[in-house]
Amino acid sequence: MIRRKVIVRDAHGIHARPAARIVQACRGMNSKITICKGRRNADASSLLELLLLDAESGSEVEIVTEGMEEETAMRRVIDLF
């Protein structure tokens, strides 16, 4: 399991377009990817869960990856932030 904290840099936070990019990047990965903000957790392959995080610009989120490709998955998701 790998955990990394990142800051949401998009001016509008994690809204539909960035959330869709995250979902696309997570497709086909042989790892579970979770994005956490405060007490809320979202499966990174679920557009609706990502939108419900309410992660605005400047907020800190934690990315958690588990599985066979956890390092690759982490790099892919971090590159989007």
User: Does residue 27 surpass a pLDDT of 90?
Assistant: no
According to the model, what pLDDT value does residue 3 have? 97
User: Does residue 68 surpass a pLDDT of 90?
Assistant: yes
- The set of catalytic residues is 15
In the chain the domains, ranked by start, together with CATH numbers, are 2-80 (3.30.1340.10)
According to the model, what pLDDT value does residue 28 have? 86
Contacts by 50-56 with C-beta closer than 8 Å and gap 24+?
Answer: 50/14, 50/19, 50/22, 50/23, 51/14, 51/15, 51/16, 51/19, 53/14, 54/13, 55/8, 55/13, 55/14, 56/8, 56/12, 56/13
According to the model, what pLDDT value does residue 64 have? 98
Confidence of residue 36 (pLDDT cuts 50, 70, 90): very high
User: Does residue 79 surpass a pLDDT of 90?
Assistant: yes
